[in-house]
Amino acid sequence: MAEEYSYELKIPRERVAVLIGREGEVKKNIEA
């Protein structure tokens, strides 16, 4: 987990925001 987190920090915040947005959409689809 720690390695994955440190890797995410190297990714531009914009990409991280997009990834989080996708995860949010997926969660909504699963809950729906």
- What counts of helices (H) and strands (E) characterise the chain? 2, 0
The residue segments making up the domain with residue 18 are 2-31
Give me the pLDDT at residue 17, please: 81
Distance, C-alpha 4 to centroid of its chain: 11
Q: How many folded domains does the chain comprise?
A: 1
pLDDT at 31: 82
Answer yes or no: is pLDDT of 5 > 80. Answer: no
CA distance 27 to 4: 20
Q: Are 23 and 15 in contact (CB under 8 A)?
A: no
DSSP string, 1-15: -HHHHHHHHHS-HHH
pLDDT, tens digit (0-9, with 9 covering 90-100), for 12-31: 778 878 888 888 888 888 88
